[in-house]
Amino acid sequence: MRGNNVLGILFAYVHEERVRELTEKRVMASIPFGGRYRLVDFPLSNMVNSGINKVGVITEENYQSLMDHLGSGKAWDLSRKREGLYLLPPFGAETARTGEKISSLASIQRFLKNSYEEYVLLSDCDIVANIDLKDVFRFHTEKQADITVIYRHGASPDIDRNVVYTVDPEGFVRDMLIKRGSDADCNYGLGMCLVGREKLMELVDDCMSRNLYDFDRDLMQRHLRDLKVYGYESVETAYSINSFSSYFNANMALMDPKVRAQLFRADRPIYTKVRDDMPAKYGLGSLATNSIIADGCVIDGEVENCVLFRGVQVKKGAKLKNCVVMQDSVIGENTRLDYAVVDKNVEFGQNRAMQGHQNYPVYIAKGSKV
């Protein structure tokens, strides 16, 4: 199977309720991550690196920041005369969307019908991973599967809301549990699956005609005995953004060079929107240790174990420790922050102090003045 015979579909809004702090004014896909990226960059780059040249991004609401980030798709080589990147907002949809995947797929039936690709790769945007999808395509073809789900074996990232698969040695999915976890290692889904385009439209039509909208329960689980459903195990490093603390911990994990080497590979790069800026500037007396600092930052204070996005200013005497500070925020003189997530365009005055905990970091909302 060639990558250009696969249509990519991204669900930009799925699981927003899990990180309400970050999705109040943006969709899940546009949550900033790692100093310069958005969550959508990872599944989108995975698709492009595998040869997919047509990707549809399904949105619901609050998608202005996502549109600004994706633009025409040029950063991912998806700005083309034919195919490329398609934003699929709810306006003009023939079927009303209920927030569930089935109704979203039903609303883009015309887009699916007018596409010529034989297969469709469906993906959520809440998994940070660098996966070689070419191996998934090869596995799907070899097994002659109807549906191939991508899973990972290990400790359950969410004890209450996982999809857990029982997979035999040949890769055949014997059973699946929804909204389950396990104290022991299990096969939990990564929110990605590969299916034939015609088969997908047939299954979606069947679900809609029966007033069924849950993708995992009503499409996958209900047809588990009727279809050849296989599971492909991904052994790559993956972080599930299923809570605010998991988002914070995933950013902190980037301090480990081994994690960065696995997520940002030279042979499978993660692309993002380009913002040309000056190199980070460090003033006299400043100190930065074990931190990820993007271009455009001005550091005059002390930074330790932090992720700073583009354009962040840390004034004299300020001390940041174990923090994630998003784009263009300003940390005032002699301000101290520990275990905090600072959203975009936040401005701290002088002599402020905030401290959270590793399991409960403090969050400062976008555009706040403290």
Q: Which CATH number do you get for residue 312? A: 2.160.10.10
93 and 51 in a common domain:
yes
Residues 6+ apart with CB under 8 A from 254: 34, 35, 260, 263, 292, 307
88 and 17 in a common domain:
yes
Residue 12 has pLDDT above 80, yes or no: yes
224 and 178 in a common domain:
yes
Residue 270 has pLDDT above 90, yes or no: yes
Q: Are 49 and 268 in contact (CB under 8 A)?
A: yes
164 and 213 in a common domain:
yes
Instruction: Read off the pLDDT of residues 19-72 as tens digits, 9 standing for 90 and up.
Output: 999 999 899 999 999 999 999 999 999 999 999 999 999 998 888 999 999 999
245 and 143 in a common domain:
yes
207 and 154 in a common domain:
yes
351 and 244 in a common domain:
no
Domain boundary among 235, 263, 291: 263
Q: How high is the pLDDT of residue 327?
A: 94
Q: How many residues does the chain have?
A: 370
User: How far is residue 219's CA from residue 208's CA, in Å, rounded to a whole number?
Assistant: 10
254 and 119 in a common domain:
yes
Residue 199 has pLDDT above 90, yes or no: yes
For residues 224-229, give the mean pLDDT. Answer: 93
Q: How high is the pLDDT of residue 3?
A: 62
20 and 126 in a common domain:
yes
Residues 324-344 as b or e (16 or more Cβ within 10 Å = b)? bbbbbbbbbbbbbbbbbbbbb
The vertex-220 CA angle with 216 and 225, nearest 5°, equals 145
pTM: 0.94
Domain boundary among 231, 263, 295: 263
| Tally of domains within the chain | 2
Q: What is the 3-state secondary structure (H, E, C) of the chain?
A: CCHHHEEEEEECCCCHHHHHHHHCCCCHHHCEECCCEECCHHHHHHHHHCCCCEEEEECCCCCHHHHHHHCCCHHHCCCCCCCEEEEECCCCCCCCCCCCHHHHHHHCHHHHHHCCCCEEEEEECCEEECCCHHHHHHHHHHHCCCEEEEEEEECCCCCCCEEEEEECCCCEEEEEEEEECCCCCEEEEEEEEEEEHHHHHHHHHHHHHCCCCCHHHHHHHCCCCCCCEEEEECCCCEEECCCHHHHHHHHHHCCCHHHHHHHCCCCCCCCCCCCCCCCCEECCCCEEECCEECCCCEECCEEECCEECCCCEECCCCEEEEEEECCCCEECCCCEEEEEEECCCCECCCCCEEECECCECEEECCCCEC
Residue 140 covered by a domain: yes
CATH number of the domain residue 250 falls in: 3.90.550.10
297 and 151 in a common domain:
no
Residue 369 covered by a domain: no
Residue 270 covered by a domain: no
- Closest C-alpha among 70, 62, 72, 51 to residue 6: 51
Query: Residue 323: which domain range?
Result: 281-364
Residue 272 covered by a domain: no
128 and 57 in a common domain:
yes
- Closest C-alpha among 143, 139, 152, 201 to residue 9: 201
Residue 15 covered by a domain: yes
Q: How high is the pLDDT of residue 338?
A: 97
Residue 93 has pLDDT above 70, yes or no: no
- Closest C-alpha among 132, 169, 140, 134 to residue 153: 169
Residue 276 covered by a domain: no
286 and 259 in a common domain:
no
Residue 244 covered by a domain: yes
Block residue for tokens 């080589």: 77
Residue 131 covered by a domain: yes
Domain boundary among 217, 232, 263: 263
Residue 96 has pLDDT above 70, yes or no: no
